[in-house]
Chains A and B, each alone.
Chain A
Amino acid sequence: MYTQAMDIPDAATKPAGVSRTPDAQDAAFEARIDADGRIEPQDWMPEAYRKTLVRQISQHAHSEIVGMLPEGNWISRAPSLKRKAILIAKVQDEGGHGLYLYSAAETLGTSRDQMLDALHSGKAKYSSIFNYPTLSWADVGVIGWLVDGAAIMNQIPLCRCSYGPYARAMVRVCKEESFHQRQGYEALLVMMKGSDAQKAMVQDAVNRWWWKCLAMFGPPDADSPHSAQGLRWGIKRIGNDELRQKFVDATVPQAEVLGVTLPDPDLKWNEARQHYDYGQIDWAEFWATVEGDGPCNRERLATRVKAHRDGEWVRDAALAHARKQQQRKNKEAA
Chain B
Amino acid sequence: MNATQASAPLGGSAPNAAGSVGVAYLLHLADNAVVLGQRNAEWCGHGPILEEDIALANVSLDHIGQARLLYQLAAARMGGGASEDSLAYFRDETAFRNYTLLELPHHGPLVGYAASDRDYAVTIVRNFFYGALMVLVWDALTRSADTDLAAIAAKSLKEARYHLHHAADWVVRLGDGTDESHARAQAAVDHLFRYTEEFWLPSPAETEAVASGIGVEVASLRAAWDALVDETLAEATLSRPAVRGYVPEGKLGRHSEHLGYLLGEMQGLARAHPGATW
Judge whether B44 and A68 touch: CB under 8 Å. yes
> When the two chains form their complex, are residues B177 and A307 in contact, meaning their CB atoms are under 8 A apart?
no
Which of B47, B50, B51, B65 is the most central at the interface, judged by chain A CB atoms within 10 Å of its CB?
B50
Residue of B nearest to A75 (CB): B41
Residue with the highest number of chain A CB atoms closer than 10 Å, among B47, B57, B180, B276: B57
A81 is contacted by which of B45, B48, B85, B276 (Cβ under 8 Å)?
B85
Inter-subunit contact A76/B181 (CB<8 Å): no
**CA distance in complex: A84, B278 (Å):** 11
Main secondary structure of the interface of B (DSSP, over half): helix
Quick one: CB contact mask for A63-89 with B, threshold 8 Å, 1 for yes? 001001100100111111111110011
Mask, A85-100, CB within 8 Å of B = 1, is 1001101100110110
Question: Are B177's CB and A195's CB within 8 A?
Answer: no
Q: How far is the CB of A137 from chain B (nearest CB, A)?
A: 6
- Known contacts: A81-B68, A83-B278. The answer to whether A307 contacts B46 by CB under 8 A is yes
* Interface residue range, chain B: 35 or more
The proximity string for A residues 29-71 relative to B, scoring 1 for CB distances below 8 Å and 0 otherwise, is 0000000000000000000000000000000000001001100
CB-based contact B50/A81 at 8 Å: no
Contact A77 B268 (CB under 8 A): yes
Bound Cα distance from A81 to B34, whole angstroms = 9
| Pairwise interchain contact B54-A92, C-beta atoms closer than 8 A | yes
Contact B278 A191 (CB under 8 A): yes
Contacts of A78 in B (CB 8 A): 269
Known: A79-B276, A321-B177. A91 touches B67 (CB 8 A): no
B-chain residues with CB within 8 Å of residue A197 when the two chains form the complex: 273, 276
* Beta-carbon contact of B84 and A81 below 8 Å: yes
The chain A residue sitting closest to B72, CB to CB, is A81
CB within 8 Å for A307 and B45 given contacts A77-B268, A92-B58: yes
Query: Do B178 and A313 have beta carbons less than 8 Å apart?
Result: yes
Interface centre among A69, A84, A312, A319 (most CB of B within 10 A): A84
State whether B61 touches A92 (Cβ < 8 A): yes
Do B276 and A194 touch (CB < 8 A)? yes
A317 and B174 form a contact (CB under 8 A): yes
Residues in chain A near residue B120, CB distance under 8 A: 311, 314
- Whether A310 sits at the interface, judged by CB under 8 Å, is yes
Minimum distance in angstroms from B49 CB to a CB of chain A: 6
List of B residues within 8 angstroms of A85 by Cβ = 61, 64-65, 68
Interchain nearest-CB distance for B118 vs A (Å)? 7
A315 within 8 A of B: yes
Quote the shortest CB–CB distance from A159 to chain B (angstroms).
Answer: 23
Nearest CB to that of B48 among chain A residues?
A311
Contact A81 B67 (CB under 8 A): yes
Q: When chains A and B are docked, how far (Å) is the Cα of A313 from the Cα of B49?
A: 11
Interface hits, A274-324 → B, CB 8 Å: 303, 306-307, 310-321, 324
**A79 close to B71 (CB less than 8 A):** no
B residues near A319, Cβ cutoff 8 Å: 177
Q: Mark A185-198, 1 if CB is under 8 A from B, else 0.
A: 00100110111011
- Nearest residue (CB) in A for B54 is A95
Listed in ascending order, the chain A residues whose CB lies under 8 Å from chain B are: 65, 68-69, 72, 75-85, 88-89, 91-92, 95-96, 98-99, 102, 137, 187, 190-191, 193-195, 197-198, 303, 306-307, 310-321, 324
* 14 sampled A-B residue pairs with Cβ under 8 A: A79-B269, A79-B270, A80-B270, A81-B71, A81-B84, A82-B84, A88-B41, A99-B54, A137-B278, A198-B276, A310-B46, A313-B181, A314-B120, A316-B181
Interface residues of B (CB under 8 A from A): 34, 38, 41-42, 44-54, 57-58, 60-61, 64-65, 67-68, 71, 84-85, 88-89, 117-118, 120, 172-174, 176-178, 180-181, 184, 265-266, 268-270, 273, 275-278
